[in-house]
Structure formats: C-alpha cells, structure tokens
Structure 1
C-alpha cells in the first residue's frame, strides 16, 4: 500500500510517499480501506516537524480518515461498511489516515450516518466534527439564534469556516473574524453577516469592554480569546477549541464573575462515543449541499507534504481533502 511516512534524521522530520506492506500496520480489530483523508493544522505541524506531535518514528500521519471496512474482528462493523475516524491519537502515536489502509481499534470508529458519503465526511473531518462540538457547547450554554450575534475567530480556517456555515444554517447571526481580506467573499458565501479584521483583536484588552456577543467559537486563543471574553454579553458562552495564536490567556476573572460568562473548552480527540454519534448525526442533517462545493480543496497524497508547509504559512483556506483512492 502507499503511505506518507514520516521519519527522523538528525532531528529533522522527513516526509515521503512510500510503498509499504500492510503487514506493518499496527494492531487493531478493524482494517479500513481509506478513500479520503485530510490535512489539519496538527497534521501540518507533524509533517513539517514544526510541532512536537510525533514522538515515535516511523509514523504515518493523518488524524482523520473515511473509508470502507475491509476486515473486522468486531461484531459492530462488517466488510463494506462506511466509517469515519477522528482523534484518539491516530496520526500521532498510532498510524493514521494518509495511507491506503489503516488498522485501528473498533471503539475509535463511527459508522457514517445517512446523508454522508466518505468524501463529504472528510470535507467535514476533524475540523467539522470540532466545529459541531462547539455548536453543541453553545446550545448547552443556552445560546440560541434569538440570543444575539455569535462571533467566530479564525474564521478562514477549517474549524472556523465550518462553524460559520453550521451556525448560519441553524439560523444564527454570525460575525466572522479573519486576518485575510481575500477571504471575505468566501466567508460571506458561507453565511457570515459581518466580517471583522483580526487586527482589531490583536492588541491588549481591558478586563471588560462593551457587550457585543451572545456566543463565541474561538479557534485562536491568547489575546484574541481575551478580547472576545471581555466583549461577551451577560450570561453568554464561549466555546474554545484552538490555540493557533498561542496557548496563554491574558485575561481576568471579571467576565466570569461580573457577566456570568461561561468558557467551555472543547476537545475532539477523546470525545466519548455517544457525543461523537450525536455530533455526526447533526452534521449529516444541517449543512446545505453547496457547503461541500465551497469549503474544500482536493489534493493527492503526493502533494500532502508541500501543502502542509503552506498550511503552516497561513496560505490555505478552508478544508484540504486528500484523495487516497
């Protein structure tokens, strides 16, 4: 089978497409013939070696994939069944989706719900799954379309752009924050009502500012998240899922204790199965068909490494699909 293999030489990460035996796949109850994978920010960090994602080499990256079961030792899955996988350390410490086959634990797989094929599942992928978890967190916090404007940071990225589309499809009034003016038309087509410049959110902020947002989905962290927190309405919710801008949070307790703001962390790696099933069922029924035509760029496996470098350089918009078969 063909696979993108990461190896390390003198501290440098080297990525190459290789023909390897499927006998080298790690242990697991289910073997999947992969149709599609994708490139996420974490994949890009792993492939380029810019982040300490991979600790054991060789490694096949790819934190998500969709395909069909070819062999199963678990009664829950049968050959020919369409499945999707996100998270669980796959592509980090267990060989992942940038290959023609994967062997994984049955507990890590989700059967594809009606309304999604493997290509659509990977247009969504980890990014779409994370965005849906963020929307669920807002709903759990009592934020609904009548509550007021909802802001999405890092809106041009995979999570952010899917969050804009999901919220818009659900009837929310969405405001997008993006650092790239060239993406304004793209974000408007996804459903953003207004677009703000990232520059407005890059400086230091006061502990409390004018109340603007009923809810927020933040993919950036650091000063961006601090600024958003200072602008939240009373009794609002922020779903935080990313740290592309940094892992610190230079804020105070004032938004939380004076405005009753809820900051909900969202993790997509270890999400329990029941929550995964809910998220994927919701994803299958919300997004319009045009989303799948707007939000993805398609590449082949041999272009994964160069595209990963572009993603790190903030030169990629939306989702990047990797066609495996």
Structure 2
C-alpha cells in the first residue's frame, strides 16, 4: 500500500507571540538585521503557492531559506524573540496554505547533503530531496527505503511524518536524528524519536525542527533494487501523475484494531493489509469518487485523492475535506484524519 506524499511542514510552530500586521512584521524584521546572518536567502511577499504541490494559497510576509544549522538557529532565535509568527516547512508536498497566506515568516532549512558514512550507513540533511536519497541507496546497493521511490518532498518531512510505502516506513532504517528544539541542537536515537504510523515525536513537539539523520541499511543487489523501484514508480506515477497538483492521499489509512467493532464487522478482510484499512475504502462507500468543489476535485479513480484541476482555492479544499469527513462520519460513525498540514488558517 502506498503512503501519501511525505509531510511538508516538518514542524509547524504556530505563534511565538502576538501576530503582527504585515507592515508591522516588516518593521520588526528589518529591525532584527537578519542581513547580518550569513547565507540567508530572504524573499519578501513570497507566493507560497509556488512552494506547494497543491499550487494554491496566498503569500507569506517573508520566506527565509537557511542552508546550515548556524544560520537556521540564529534566524529562528531572533524571530522568536520578536513576536513575529513563524512556520517551518519543507518541500511543500503535503501542505495546504490559506488563500490569505501567512502573516509572518516561513522558514525552510535547506541543507541537502547526502553522504555515505560506511558500507551500510548514509546521512542526509533535512533539506535533501527524498528521491535523491532513495536513488543514492539504490546505487550503493542498500536495501531499506527503495519502496519510497516516487514519494515527493524532503527528508525532513519524511522523518516528521514517518513516511513510507509498501510495508516499509523510514523509521525502520533510521539510527539517529539531529534536530533543533528552539533553544539548542540535540540528537535522538531511533527509540527516542517516538515513531509510529505517520507520526513522530517531532510532530508532537511543534517547535522541534529536524536537521539531519543517519540511516542504517542492508546490503542488496543493485539491479534487484532498481527493478523493484522502477515497478513502484510506474504504479505511483499512474496514480499520482507528476504534473498533477495534489498532496497525494489526503487522509491517513486506518488501523483496523482501533476501529469500532461495528465498523470492523463491515470491513472486507481482503482490504486489510498489515493491520491497516485504506481510507479510500470508506470514502468510496461514502460516495467520494468524482466529487467536486470548484476546481478542487476528488479523482474518479481514487476516493482518497484530491487535486487542483485549475485555479482551485484553499477554501475549496477545506470545504471538500469537510464534506468527505462528514460523509464518512454519517456512514460509519467515526472520523477520518487528514495527512495534510495547514498554514495560515
């Protein structure tokens, strides 16, 4: 079973004080002299639709790209002290931005290094494209994350949301994660990361920002890994065409044992895989396929895929998601939970 796209907002911090107006934000930020921090890339009135797979949403007052730990932590600390609202995002693959945008500063940690540390260990910066990491492990003949081929987004988001596909999630290969907790840089071993299905301790602690990770993988035949990855990629591209403006699967799959007994009794045992039931199974029976709200559509071939067919809006996404949740609640008596993250709502 394929996962959704890996999470985009690998930490959403919310406000660190009073939310200021746009002009006030600019005055405060200018007074912080962020230009003194080396290597920051600062974009004013940044159109966030250009930084998300959905291709919608309004601007952020500022978008700041920080390429290393020193510049990121320095920028964070100055902004946090200022009262300006801060959000941290990654590759934008699993993000819905408000049509009004975000009144504050959006930070991105863009360190994208990939390194082979030993015969079976590789390390990656949180800003590395996940596909590039997958491709590296395949070239090195290392088994563990090849099933994640085709999942867009960055490594940091994959860790934040414990991305995975075909029975494997990234936590199975992680040995340690380096992160910024808002005050200092720390490092956790795998057990300390609190990984579970599409969750992690970094998702629980909204101010904890993933910086890098080390993975331990297993030796394997490169050709076999490549063949398996190519097969997965073909299937995934048919389901989620690269040009489609979407965030992958909108809702998390359901853990069968956690469903009400009355619902468990309705589920076809054939659709239960590795203890999970696809949300699409419930959505399809609730009449989701082909639904539309303006330019935001549910795919007619997959009930858990919402895409932007043209000039859709975040409000239309929000309304359609609300409709789908209400349909499942009415039909089955429980809530489906989104995988997408929200900014500016």
TM-score under structure 2 length normalisation: 0.28
